[in-house]
Homo-oligomer: A and B are copies of this chain.
Amino acid sequence: MTSLASGERRAGIDAAVSQLADLFGDRLSRSPSILDIHGRDESWHGTLPPDAVFFPESTDEVARAVRVCAEHRCPVIPWGAGTSVEGHTAPLHGGVTFDLSGLDRILEVNADDLDCRVGAGVKRKQLERALYDLGLFFPIDPGADATFGGMASTRASGTTAVRYGTFRDAVLGLTVVLADGQVIRTGTRARKSSAGYDLTRLFVGAEGTLGILTEVQLRLWGRPDKIVAAVCPFGSLAGAVETAMEVVQLAIPVARIELLDAAMVDAVNRYSDRSDPVQPTLFFELHGSPGAVAEQTEMLREITASHGGGDFAWSGEQAEREALWHARHHALYASLALRPGCKAFSTDVCVPISRLGDVLPESQADARSEGLLAPIVGHVGDGNFHMILIFDPDDRGERATVERVNERLVERALAAGGTSTGEHGVGFGKIEWVEREHGDAVDVMRRIRRALDPDQILNPGKIFRG
């Protein structure tokens, strides 16, 4: 990839970088290795380093630096842990990447109110450790050890959304630096409010194009008395999908219900040294009081049996459960290991759950008929699944095939009333689909963007064109 910055934009970037270096010294880096790290993410997109990387240590420093960049119309790209997968942090128009990992303090934990406030650079596992002894937890788990700023900006979710919702539901308020350097707070610590526009949820999922998140006020949950996980193989993909549909329709409050097709079970077995039967499989997790978990277990047994499910393999111990979910979270790497040297394109559609029964097998058959290796893993309780399309990056024909299969997948999902991205976000990789999905509503997004960032300095080139 190459940056689109040129002419006047280029002169502005140079002026901003020079001024930031004067203001912040060592914390403005132009070291090639630092630039290179910040030009990558976990996507299949290429590398594109920024012109400089700034390491702020406070909201105030972010605001001061944004004012410098605004003066020179220099693009500002917020950066958390680099775990996004659609090129969200690529400096398409050059500019300065703001690495927010220094905003890494847990600022308050209000155990009685089940809420906390964290710096945007705090990571998921860091908060998990801090909350453990308080008997609390934050449920949203996209797999990667992402930052809270990053998870908020992509409206992340993951395996637990079926029970606890997505980042949208877990956030109470934000501290945001706007495009002109002004700092605002959105939301309050109240659980609900009707006091004006829901700016909190406007910034959540805006991928840094409307403001830079520097603090996040989160809801927390009490750690359940009992947690059990289980693996259940099925005779057919349809049986596993129908089970998931019935569980959701009956509102059994499972904490996780993940589908792996046989190809994915095979990949995960090899990669994580497991020996689950190579069949379409559901991974479950149940949270609750002992009585509630027992009741849910009994209901699950009945439903799975009626759809050709085999015996459950239960994991009550924490270490065993963690190994299970570790294996599940490494599905992407497990898929990549099937064909060394290749890259993976992870699709991310989400459909009304009743449509999983046709969209999922049709997509699987489509990928097969194109000769692709395409294991599937899905947060099926939400209707969200990932088909991991493996391809040789040097084979242009294969890459084109992958894009074609994804295009048909997205069209199938949109026709079913679904969305092109359930949780990964748009970055620049999915711009085309957002336009197809939302039609004229994209112009409303554009008008909001222009109203808040008229010079388009905040993460330009993401979510939509213009």
Contact = CB atoms under 8 A, between A and B. Distances in A.
Interface of A: 110, 112-115, 154-157, 161, 165-166, 168-169, 178, 182-186, 188-199, 201-202, 204-206, 210, 221-222, 245, 248-251, 289, 291-292, 295, 348, 350-355, 382-384, 413-414, 417-426, 430, 433-434, 437-442, 444-445, 447-448, 450-452, 463-464
Contact of A113 (B352, B440, B442): B352
A274 B176 CA distance: 51
Oligomeric state, in copies: 2
Nearest to A418: B190
A155 B419 contact: no
Nearest to A348: B194
B194 A426 contact: yes
Nearest to A420: B195
A383 to B, nearest CB: 6
A440 B184 contact: yes
Contact of A178 (B351, B442, B444): B444
22 contacts: A114-B249, A166-B192, A183-B440, A184-B444, A188-B437, A189-B352, A190-B352, A191-B382, A192-B422, A192-B423, A193-B419, A194-B423, A194-B425, A195-B434, A196-B426, A196-B434, A198-B198, A198-B202, A202-B202, A291-B291, A291-B292, A450-B451
Contacts of A444: 178, 184, 199, 452
A405 B350 CA distance: 49
B439 A113 contact: no
Contacts of A418: 188-190
A325 B418 CA distance: 37
Contact of A199 (B166, B168, B186, B445): B445
Contacts of A382: 190-192
